[in-house]
Structure formats: C-alpha cells, structure tokens
Structure 1
Amino acid sequence: MKRRFVRVLTATWLATAAATPAMAQDAAASTGLEDIVVTAQKREESLQDTPISIVALTAKDLETKGVSGLTDLRSQVPNLQLTPHPNSANTTQVFMRGVGLSDDQITQDAGVAVYMDGVYVARSQGLALEVADLERVEVLRGPQGTLYGRNATGGAINFITRKPELGELGFKGQLSIGNYDMRRIKAAVNVPLGDRVAVGLSYANIQQDGFIANPGTGVKRWGDKDRQAMRADVLWEATDTLQLAMPMTAPK
C-alpha cells in the first residue's frame, strides 16, 4: 500500500512538472509583452536588446505618470536626482549616480548630458522646461562617453518629441489647474497635407503665482511662472525609403 502511494505521488509530481512550462509559455503568450523601441545607441532597436542601464518611458507612460518635462522625472527614474538651483528656479541641478554639477556658472558643462531630438542642451540654465507633445524619454545611466561625448560622465537624458504622422488628422489637448492659481494648457494637432507631407503643431502655456510676496516693484511674487512654448514640425516623405523632418521651436 505504501509503495503504491509513493508511485501515485511520483506520477502526479511528474505530470505537474511537465505541465508547468507549458502553462508558463501560454501565460507569457497571452500577456503579450510590448516591444519598446529605443534609439539610445543612435539606431532603432528593442529595449530588451540594448546593453545599457536604461529607463524608457513611452507616450502612454508619460501621460499616465504626468511627465511633461525634465523635473517630472525625479520620481520615475532610480539614481536620478533633480533639484532646482537656490538662485534660479529655471536652473535644474541634475545628478546621476552622484555625478553632476552643483554650480550654475554658464561656462561649465554638466556631468549629465541632456538632449532634445538629438540636439545637445549644453547648459543647466533653463532646464526646467516642459514639452507639449513628447513621444518618448530615454534615461541612460552610467558613463556614455562613447555615444554622447565627454560631457556624459554620469549619464544621458534623451527627449524625443512626437513626429507628424502621414494621412492622419488628430488633436490632443490637456488642461490642468492647481494651487497658487496654477494653469497649464497644452495642445497638439497633426495635419496631413496630401499623401507625403504632414505638419505637427504644439503649444504649451504654464502660469503659476509664487508663494513669497515681493515688496519691490516689477515682479508680483518670487517664484512666479509665466512660460509659453510653440513648436512646428514638418515631415516630408520624399520616397518610400527617405523621410525629411524639420522642427521649429519658439520658447518664451
């Protein structure tokens, strides 16, 4: 009786072990993990195949987590510290794994490189920016000198804006209100012009009263925000294998 019980228990365990991988495969297939495409190495490739310590936030992630600028990343990326400079609210101190720049001198480069659509933002002044229509944000941690030059000893942050889409007319808007009379308005529109040309327009307006009264003249309060930004992108598909994009920005 005892031997029969052992044989039955062994057969049950073997059947369970054989069925577990199949169930795991079915679960993985039904889950359908999203393939995130990044350009951290100057070419499009899957995030899973990129041999870099990287955090990539897609357009859906940015919308869900309310990320619209550099300072919004402080709670989304490990090992990344973002703090406003004591002398200027528009200057952001960026530290990656303890590497960064604590000074606000305009003659010094930061230890973490910030890029906007592949263009290097060389100084920390004005880094408290917001972008109306982002497609993806990539944060590369650790030295990136091979790909991004000597000013990326701590890491690199890439902002990739949304490009116009051919053949699709679309509009997206966002309105936010908060304390200290905060108003944030963002809008973006995609307009196709024929089969091979599309134009993307975006606008952002951020206003907020400061929380410290200014007894002097000029500024109402210290810490007031009054920012506007406009952007226009033109996409031309010259051939089936060649696309030309031209961005135009006007921050204020």
Structure 2
Amino acid sequence: MRIASLAPSVTEIIYELGAEQDIVCSTVFCDYPEPAKSLPKIGSWTTIDIKKLESLNPDIVLTSSAVQGNLTRKLRDLGMNVVNINPMRLPEVVESYNQIGALVERRQEAENIVRELYKKIMAYTVTAQNSGPRVYCEEWSDPPMASGNWVPDVVELAGGVPGVVKAGHLSREYRLEDLQSFEPEIILLHICGMGDRVKVEEVMQRPGWEILPAIQSGEVHVLDDSLLNRPTRRLFKGLETLKEIIGNFKR
C-alpha cells in the first residue's frame, strides 16, 4: 500500500500502528516521531505540490480536520482516494485509531491501542473532580482563540471545569466579556506551532485580563502545543500534565 499522509496526527498514528514503511510522502509539519522528519515532504497544511503527489501514485491520501477540507475536496475532484480524519471529541480521537487502522490494514494493532486508551479514560473519569478550578485553554494567540474540540474533554478528565467553548465545538474567537464572566482560575497556553515557546508575560499584560483570577494569582501555564492540539495518544500526556497543574492549585 502507498499512503500519502498529509496531517501530523495521521502520520503519528500510522507510526504507532507500524505501517510507516507504506508512507510515500508527508508534510513539513509531520515531525513526530523523530523518524517522521525524514519522510519525503510535499507541502504544508493547506498547500501541497499536487503534481508531486500525483507522481507518487498513492493508493490512499489521508488528511485531517476541517482545516484541510478544501484540500480534501480538491484532491477528490482530481480522482484521488482521499479520507479526512476529523475527530471532535476525545472518544472520537480514540476511535480514529480504528478508522485509520482499517484503512492501512492494521486493524489488530489499532484495536489494542483503542482498548488501552479507553481504560485510561475510565481511570481518569473515576478520579475527576466535580468542583475543580475553572480552566481556560488557548490554542491561538493572534487573535486569541479559546480551545474547543476535544480539549474541554481533557480539562474535565484532568479535574478542571472548562469554559468559553464547549467540547465538540470548534476553537474560536470570543468576547473579552465572556472570558471575564468565566473567571478562569487557571490559564493554559498551547499555542499552535509554538511548542512551549510562549511568552507568558505578554499574555499577562493583555488589556482587560488583569481582573482574571488566574492572572492575579499567576496561574498561567504553557504546554507544548502538540500535547493538546494533535488528536493522538499523546493527548493523554497533556492530560496528565494538566492534572498535575490542577492538583497543585490552591484557591
């Protein structure tokens, strides 16, 4: 099988399933695990070298999320076999392993991972608090965008109370008044493409943010964006880090 993997999360999952030898091309953002950096690159999130892709004659092209919606439609119009993997909630992220596993002929490997991840969800569900701190997560900073999709699910399992954007809804801009009304006690920054290189001091100086409880108490934290933005098993590493932050929080 010849696989064109055009999303970092998909590439990561294919490696987990043990089908990486079938990948014929990827994007410049496909950088995990480390060997993925050496895969042939044909473009970025939304712009690729279509002629190069056609020359590679893939059996299947895998894209991800609504961000690659236009690219997905364009490639389908060219007659390519394209599947868009688009989980919106944490259980859907888990099920995406089965979806990809079936597509790349690694069903058993996928089922094993899915069982493991559901056990993790159940374990976190049992220990999650009902009255934890209010947590605001931000995935984009210019303009500021509150994290949606599976991130509110992660916050709840970590013992926090998510706000501004509901689970399963797209990340979006918001009114400052909405954030002020939420009164976040913890702010978690996982800015897309920034890793953990976010300048907290700049965020703390945003106009209107000085009244937020998290700003006043200094509860502003940075997390490597790949641990919350990529819908893969590594979300559980992000969850564990957030759980530690919440565990150390004192009102």
Which category describes the TM-score, using the shorter chain as reference length?
under 0.3
Report the structure, 1 or 2, having the larger helix content: 2
Question: Taking CA–CA contacts closer than 8 Å with sequence separation of 6 or more, which of the two structures ends up with the larger relative contact order?
Answer: 2
- Structure with the greater alpha carbon radius of gyration: 1
Q: TM-score, normalised by structure 2?
A: 0.25
Report the structure, 1 or 2, having the larger strand content: 1
